[in-house]
């Protein structure tokens, strides 16, 4: 059993205990979220974009994802990305004291807390230790501390108007991501309903212009509008089938009546050509023929 020679066993060596679940390295997790693209896990490089859930992406990776989703195994996690309208390009502030990480040799100190971007107001680094937000209207990235300490109605960096609804937390907790998702769904549903209402209003206006009935008893029906158009055409002296029509005939058509006196013979029309007149049985050429006309069947010739 041992225990000789002055060795002192520990409790976990003598008693079987439950193994603790493996915990992920917090530093590596923060680096993956704040220094790498959420889709391809490549290092972030400008231009950097963010979605409505607060995740960071490389613009090049996002374009490849939107063109062909089948190439990516994690496509199910990014179904909320429908196009570039669901993303915003970020306006980041570079950290001038940031140095690119060198090859680890084991004899040099590497600062894992350093980051490429900082807050332009407070100056803290964007490494995941502090909460950062971005404004959807302008894309400026600021720390949560700066928004709380300096309360204004405009952006601290660009001066554009600022509202609480436009502020989105970057790489938030599960509860924050859930609230952002519900806000995103409400916003999209509202935009969809507004689009439908606008389309219905546009369709109603087009129906009014075309003279269709809109269900309102006070408005003119299609027959009344048709009569008005006939009267307008008669006032302008328009032609019907190439023949000038008198206003009295138009009034009779509008009232649903026809008068024999207002009828005009095609053969007496000075504007009609001889070829057009010969198509009718009232022409002299058709009367002289001993057989039926080739266009109009007339039983008198048989």
pLDDT score, position 288: 64
User: In this predicted model, what pLDDT tens digit does every residue of 124-140 receive, in sequence order?
Assistant: 888 888 899 999 988 89
Among 96, 158, 161, 91, CA closest to 123: 96
Q: Which percentage of the chain shows pLDDT scores above 90? A: 18
Q: What is the mean pLDDT of residues 275-281?
A: 78
Q: What is the mean pLDDT of residues 102-108?
A: 59
pLDDT score, position 51: 92
pLDDT score, position 65: 92
Q: What is the mean pLDDT of residues 238-255?
A: 46
Residue 28: which pLDDT band, with cuts at 50, 70 and 90? confident
pTM, two decimal places: 0.57
Q: What is the mean pLDDT of residues 83-88?
A: 90
Q: 239: which strand partners?
A: 244
Q: Residue 89: pLDDT above 80?
A: yes
pLDDT score, position 73: 85
pLDDT score, position 233: 56
Q: Name every residue whose Cβ is closer than 8 Å to that of residue 267 and which is 6 or more positions away in sequence.
A: 277, 280, 282, 283
* Higher-confidence position of 129 and 102: 129
pLDDT score, position 169: 92
Residue 241: which pLDDT band, with cuts at 50, 70 and 90? very low
Q: What is the DSSP string of the chain?
A: ----TT----HHHHS--PPPPP---HHHHHHHHHSB-TTT-PBP-SSEEEETT--EEEHHHHHHHHH-GGG-TTGGGGTT--SGGGEEE-B-EE-TT--------SSS---TT--SEE-TTT--B-SSSS-EEEETTT-BEEEHHHHHHS--SB-TTT--B--GGGEEETT--HHHHHHHHHHHHHHHHHHHHHHHHHHHHHHHHHHHHHT---S-TTS--HHHHHHHHHHHHHHHT-EETTEE--HHHHHHHHTT---GGG---STT-TTS-HHHHTTSTTSHHHHH-SS--SSS--GGG-
Q: What is the mean pLDDT of residues 226-235?
A: 56
Q: What is the mean pLDDT of residues 101-123?
A: 73
Domain with residues 25-98+112-186, CATH architecture: 2-Layer Sandwich (3.30)
pLDDT score, position 134: 92
* Higher-confidence position of 77 and 220: 77
- Cα→Cα distances 294→91, 267, 290, 300, 302, Å: 81, 18, 12, 14, 13
Task: Encode burial over 162-191: b for 16+ CB neighbours within 10 A, e otherwise.
Answer: beeebebbbbbeeebeeebeeebeeeeeee
User: In this predicted model, what pLDDT tens digit does every residue of 137-187 receive, in sequence order?
Assistant: 888 999 988 888 888 888 888 888 888 888 999 998 889 999 999 999 999
Q: Residue 296: pLDDT above 80?
A: no
User: Whole-number mean pLDDT of the chain?
Assistant: 76
Task: Encode burial over 81-118: b for 16+ CB neighbours within 10 A, e otherwise.
Answer: beeeebbbebbbbebeeeeeeeeeeeeeeeeeeebbbb
Note whether 160 and 170 are within 8 A (CB). no
Domain segments of the chain as ranges: 25-98+112-186, 223-264, 266-302
pLDDT score, position 224: 52
pLDDT score, position 62: 92
User: In this predicted model, what pLDDT tens digit does every residue of 1-21 receive, in sequence order?
Assistant: 555 667 777 777 778 777 777
pLDDT score, position 20: 76
């Amino acid at each position: 059993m041992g225990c000789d020679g002055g060795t002192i066993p520990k409790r976990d060596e003598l008693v079987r205990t439950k193994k603790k679940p493996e915990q992920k390295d917090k530093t590596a997790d923060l680096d993956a979220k704040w220094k790498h693209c959420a889709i391809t896990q490549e290092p972030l490089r400008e231009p950097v974009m963010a979605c409505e859930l607060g995740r960071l992406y490389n613009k090049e990776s996002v374009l490849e994802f939107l063109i062909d989703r089948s190439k990516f195994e994690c496509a199910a996690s990014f179904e909320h990305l429908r196009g570039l309208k669901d993303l915003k390009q970020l306006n980041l502030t570079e950290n001038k004291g940031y140095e690119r990480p060198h090859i680890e040799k084991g004899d040099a100190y590497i600062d894992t807390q350093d980051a490429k971007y900082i807050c332009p107001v407070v100056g803290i680094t964007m490494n995941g230790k502090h909460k950062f937000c971005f404004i959807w209207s302008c894309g400026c990235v600021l720390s949560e501390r700066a928004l709380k300490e300096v309360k204004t109605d405009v952006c601290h960096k660009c001066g554009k108007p600022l509202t609480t609804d436009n502020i989105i937390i970057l790489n938030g907790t599960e509860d924050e991501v859930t609230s952002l998702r519900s806000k995103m769904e409400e916003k999209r549903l509202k935009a969809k309903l507004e689009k439908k209402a606008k389309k219905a209003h546009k369709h109603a206006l087009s129906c009014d212009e075309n003279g269709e009935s809109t269900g309102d008893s006070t408005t003119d029906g299609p027959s009344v509008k048709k009569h008005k158009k006939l009267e307008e055409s008669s006032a302008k002296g328009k032609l019907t089938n190439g023949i000038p029509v008198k206003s009295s005939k138009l009034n009779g058509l509008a009232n649903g009546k026809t008068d024999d006196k207002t009828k005009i013979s095609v053969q007496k029309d000075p504007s009609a050509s001889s070829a057009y007149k010969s198509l009718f049985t009232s022409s002299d050429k058709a009367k002289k023929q001993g057989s039926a006309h080739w266009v109009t069947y007339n039983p008198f010739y048989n």
